[in-house]
Structures are given as C-alpha cells and as structure tokens.
Amino acid sequence: MKPLLLAAGLLLLPVAAVAGPDSAQTAAICGQRTSCKVGKTFDAGKSPAGAPLAVVAIHLGLADKPKDQDEGCLAGNARDGGVEYWVLDGTAPPKQVLQLCNDGYGMAGVGEDEVEVGPNRLVHRQSGGSAWRWSMDITYSLAPFRALTEQDCSYHNVSEQSGTLTDIDYRTRLVRALAKDSTRRDLGVGCPSWPKPPQTFAARIDAETVGAYPVVAPGLPGKAAIPAGTALGNCVPGMTTAGDNGFMVWGKPAPAGQTAEIRTIGLGSNTLIVQVFDPVPATAPSGGSWIHQPHLEIWVGQNGEEINTMLPLGQMTQTGITLDGTVHQGVGKPSAPPKVERWTARDERGRSVAVLRLAWPDEFALINGVTVVYSQAEAGKQVRLVATAGFANNRPIYVPDVLALAGRPSTSDRGLCQVRDGRLVAIE
C-alpha cells in the first residue's frame, strides 16, 4: 500500500482507519472555522485508562490560515490553511496535538512533514532549512500527550565535515550526539547514522564518527533561577566514574561503593552548574598538585567555524576546578576563567554533594562547545577520569554544543524541570 500524499506537503503513513468524530466532536474541533474539513481518522489503540484512542486529520482553507502566515501554507502548487491533528480519547473533549503549516520551513523551500500514528503514539517528522539543512523526528505519547524522544539532524549542504545527529530522551533528559571527524575527507554531505545493534553508542563509533553526551540546558518555567543551596536532583542523569552516561578516558571504572556521580546543567551561554558526589575521602595530594586532587576539568571549544571535533589544543581552553571551588589554569588557548560560587546540599538520596556554579565573564563563552571531565583521586593520586566525550592526545575529541531543551515540544507549557524543596527536579 503506497503512502498517502496530503495537503501542505504532508505524508501520512497508512494505518487502520476507524470511525471519524461525531457531530459534537466535529463542532468542538472546527468551531466557527468555515473551511474546516475532517480528513482521515486513524486508530491509535487505547489509552492507559482503557479508552479508545484515535487521531483525526483536519484540513483548513486559506480563510482559516494561521495568523502569522500571510500567504498561507504550501499545498502542492497551491496554498491552504494547513493541517491539524486532534486526539479523540474516549468521551473526553477532542484535543489538538499538532498544528502544521508548511511555509517551506526555510529559505530553500524544501520543507516537509510526515506523520505516523500507532498505539498511543504519534511520530512527527519535519525537515527544512537553507544552506544549513535540518530534520527532526519526534515521538509523542497521546495519553498523556507529551514528547518521549527526539532525534535531530543538522548539516551544511556544501560541507562534508558538518553534520550532527542528536538523540534526546525526554523521559530521562539524557542527550547523546554524533558528529563527523573533522579531519576526515570524502565523508559525504549529511548527518552520521545512529549505530545499529550490535554496535553501541561510544566515544568513537567508527573511523568517521565520534559521540558525546552534551551538557543539557533544561527547560525551566519562565526565567526561573537556581538559587544557591539548590541540589540538581533528578533533572538530569548523572555521569559516574563507573562509566555511566560518560566515557572512561583514564584508569579503570570505580568499584561499587567508590563510584562518584557528576551532574551538569547549562544556564544561558556562559554558565554551568556542576554537582559532585564522591564517596572517596579526599587526602592530601602528593607533590601538592591540583591534578592529584578530586577535580573538574572544563574544556571549552574556541573554534569559531562551527567545528566541534578533533580540535587542536590551540582551539580549546582547559580549566581545572577543585571541589573547594579553586580555579586552576590549564592548557590550551588562554581565556578568562569562570567565577565560581560553591555550596553544599543534599541530593534526592540524602547524600551530601558539592555544587559549583561556574560563570564565565564572556556572555557567549560556551557557544563553541564544552566537555566536562571529572578526576577521582585515591591516596593523594589521580586514579581515573570520566568525561562527556572521548579523549586522544590528552584532549577531548569532541566538544559538543550545550543543548537547550527550552522551547522544544515537551517544554512549551511548563518546562522540563523546576526547583522544588531545594532541588531541581523533573516535572512528571
């Protein structure tokens, strides 16, 4: 069975058809919009409460085009008012979940939408761009309606070295990214491919592709601040010295009972908040070097050409920060260090954690990417390093951009996280 090509350049994959909305539901959906027409209705299984679920496509004429679209939406060689998708959840009032108006989605005019419906799921694929091309693939649950996962591709259509694929799990706020090795040639234009089993996500996927765990700037309601004394809670997953959500780049993974956990969030383009739980007691370092104390290493990209992989040392800045908040100049390109504010708190498991707010004087200090490293020490010596990216020649092979989740589908209403009872916690 061939896919159905609908108005507004929308490709709707065929699934089982069910009865459309009744007259009361149609009235609730269309209201006073005279051009509103009910399209196909698609079976979406059942809600967690056992109610039948369906998704109905609604087509609009130019008379009911979105207010911000003066010329309407692309519909083949014509224009119309776009397409909406509404969920029918048992006897509950119909709920609009998507409003699509393909205006080309960028200067190149190559925008496309594709929607697929399954049991309590809706997948929306959208692409567009100009010289920079992009696509996003978002999976939603219908009851309740929320984004579950997203995979985004971004690349320049004449640059083989560009191309980043980002994978977001909104349920855990875990983000992973793939990028091309910028030292390679003949890579082809486009984004890397996500590894297929049995291949797994890694710091080096293959000779052409590297991976990393980008720092997340979680969606917060409004302009919510993170006051001193706040623990990061379960807002973002932790990287551990056992190798969870990070890469062991030096030493062996920590044994049970000695595993440190590091959580990091971004705020704006120049601030990080890093929380560290380390059960290994700190001892006086041999030789007095900060290298042998428990410490963070923040590697900041300094390449202004949107290249984030395989950077030479002169295009990165390393800053060392011990857990007492003392800043130590590292290697790489000299740069103004961050100001550090330190406090202690209790995380959601009742553990004592050190929290460091790092604020760089340059408003855009982090726009060229950042890699976070934690060094765990034992008996006054460095024993292991875990990092958000892989290492080669004593420096990160990838400094991914900080990923802002604010404004994405799951954060358009309330945000992803909020401060509650002294902790930054996920909004369920």
Residue 220: the pLDDT is: 74
Q: What band does 17 get if pLDDT is binned at 50, 70 and 90?
A: low
Structure tokens at 395: 């420096």
Percentage of residues in the chain with pLDDT exceeding 70? 92
Q: Does the N-terminal peptide bond of residue 144 adopt cis geometry, omega within 30 degrees of 0?
A: yes
Domain-embedded: residue 144: no
CATH number of the domain within which 254 lies: 2.60.40
Q: What band does 5 get if pLDDT is binned at 50, 70 and 90?
A: very low
Residue 338: the pLDDT is: 98
Structure tokens at 259: 């595993």
pLDDT in tens, 164-175: 999 999 989 999
1-5, 214-218, 368-372: range with lowest mean pLDDT: 1-5
Domain-embedded: residue 165: no
The mean predicted confidence, pLDDT, of the chain is 91
Residue 15: the pLDDT is: 46
pLDDT in tens, 71-113: 999 998 899 999 999 999 999 999 999 999 999 999 989 999 9
62-66, 183-187, 249-253: range with lowest mean pLDDT: 183-187
pLDDT in tens, 262-293: 999 999 899 999 999 999 987 766 567 899 99
Mean pLDDT along residues 338-356: 96
Is the per-residue pLDDT at 354 higher than 50?
Answer: yes
Mean pLDDT along residues 124-143: 95
Domain-embedded: residue 176: no
Is the per-residue pLDDT at 30 higher than 90?
Answer: yes
Is the per-residue pLDDT at 127 higher than 60?
Answer: yes
Residue 325: the pLDDT is: 97
* Neighbouring residues of 67: CB distance < 8 A, sequence distance ≥ 6: none
Q: What band does 12 get if pLDDT is binned at 50, 70 and 90?
A: very low
Is the per-residue pLDDT at 366 higher than 50?
Answer: yes
Residue 224: the pLDDT is: 66
pTM strictly above 0.75: yes
Domain range holding 315? 221-426
Is the per-residue pLDDT at 3 higher than 50?
Answer: no
Domain-embedded: residue 270: yes
Is the per-residue pLDDT at 193 higher than 50?
Answer: yes
d(CA 333, CA 364): 16
Residue 411: the pLDDT is: 53
Residue whose pair of structure tokens reads 């990091």 in the numeric block: 264
Domain-embedded: residue 130: no
Mean pLDDT along residues 363-370: 96
Residue 225: the pLDDT is: 81
Is the per-residue pLDDT at 204 higher than 60?
Answer: yes
Residue whose pair of structure tokens reads 């929290």 in the numeric block: 355
Q: Does 102 share its domain with 225?
A: no
pLDDT in tens, 379-425: 889 999 999 999 999 999 999 999 988 766 655 555 688 899 999 99
Measuring CA to CA, which residue among 111, 113, 110 is closest to residue 122? 113
Q: What band does 223 get if pLDDT is binned at 50, 70 and 90?
A: low
Is the per-residue pLDDT at 69 higher than 60?
Answer: yes
Q: What band does 304 get if pLDDT is binned at 50, 70 and 90?
A: confident
Is the per-residue pLDDT at 27 higher than 60?
Answer: yes
Q: Does 240 share its domain with 381?
A: yes
Out of 107, 124, 150, pick the residue that ends a domain: 107
Measuring CA to CA, which residue among 101, 310, 299 is closest to residue 204? 310
Domain-embedded: residue 88: yes
d(CA 315, CA 368): 10
Q: What is the 3-state secondary structure (H, E, C) of the chain?
A: CCCEEEHHHEEECCCCECCCCCHHHHHHHHCCCCCCEEEEEEEEEECCCCCEEEEEEEECCHHHCCCCCCCCEEECCEEECCEEEEEEECCCCCEEEEEECCCCCCCCCCCEEEEEEECCEEEEEEEEECCEEEEEEEEEEECCEEEEEEEEEEEECCCCCCCEEEEEECCCCEEEEEEECCCCCCCCCCCCCCCCCCCCCCCEEECCEEEECCCEECCCCCCCCCCCCCECCCCCCCEECCCCCCEEEECCCCCCCCCCEEEEEEECCCEEEEEEECCCCCCCCHHHCHHHCCEEEEEEECCCCCCCECCCHHHEEEEEEECCCCEEEEEECCCCCCEEEEEEEECCCCCEEEEEEEECCCCCCCCCCEEEEEEEEECCEEEEEEECECEECCEECECCCCEECCCCHHHCCCCCEEEECCEEEECC
Out of 84, 107, 130, pick the residue that ends a domain: 107
Domain-embedded: residue 280: yes
Out of 107, 137, 169, pick the residue that ends a domain: 107
Split into its structural domains, the chain has a count of 2
Domain-embedded: residue 141: no
